[in-house]
Chains A and B, each alone.
Chain A
């Protein structure tokens, strides 16, 4: 059974700091991995999607890496801003096609202090 774990559960940093969020999964047979952002009271917004054959993806100040063999992914946020405050969730897609289920971690709640 695929399990996705995110550590830490919560993180508070001063503005401008670079930070890393961690995601681990127990079954390396994944199709892809996605990072989402969730603001309080809102739905999820997709940030980055990494295919199982890829090592990393970048979008602006965000960089996500994937090490499938060790069951780990990281989300790197450069020069953090108060607007980055949100809950970040990672999700792995099971199986060998894009129709597999997404299994979500519990999320890391980030607070960036001005």
Chain B
């Protein structure tokens, strides 16, 4: 299995632009998680899905952030409009039960 796949691996954009991060979970995993990691705040859960349904989005910082999971093999995290304080590494993880398997992350820099 290729593991959790995230794209792009790096993204540099200007403030105000829309950013879309993509994730392909491991086949057969029924839970998917989006995390954000920064030096100041560490690793924070943004949202997670179970069987493609959003279960807990309390970590989504504000309305500029949205996430979708249209099917079991794909999810997106969108930031519109982006701001410099959104610069971070965004991880996607999937899980069959309790252990979570992380992707390599997308390093986002908003100028």
Contacts and interface: CB of A to CB of B under 8 A. Distances in A.
A88 B42 CA distance: 12
Interface residues of A, number: 20
A44 B42 CA distance: 13
B102 A43 contact: yes
Interface stretch (B69-77, B78-86, B93-101): B93-101
Size category of the binding interface on chain B: 20 to 34
Given A34-B99, A44-B102, A49-B98, A101 B42 contact: no
Tell me the interface secondary structure of chain B in the complex.
Answer: strand
Given A99-B55, A102-B45, A106-B42, A46 B103 contact: no
Contact of A43 (B48, B56, B91, B98): B91
Considering residues A44, A104, A106, which has the most beta carbons from chain B within 10 angstroms of its beta carbon? Answer: A44
A43 B99 contact: no
A42 interface: yes
Given A99-B55, A101-B45, A101-B56, A45 B99 contact: no
A105 B98 contact: no
A58 B101 CA distance: 19
Contacts of B93: 43-44
A104 B43 contact: yes
A12 interface: no
B43 A89 contact: yes
A43 B44 CA distance: 14
B100 to A, nearest CB: 7
A73 interface: no
Contacts of B102: 43-45
B45 A43 contact: no
Given A43-B91, A43-B103, A104-B42, 11 more contacts: A41-B104, A42-B104, A42-B105, A43-B102, A43-B104, A44-B91, A46-B100, A49-B98, A99-B50, A101-B56, A102-B45
8 contacts: A41-B105, A43-B102, A44-B91, A45-B102, A99-B55, A101-B56, A101-B59, A104-B44
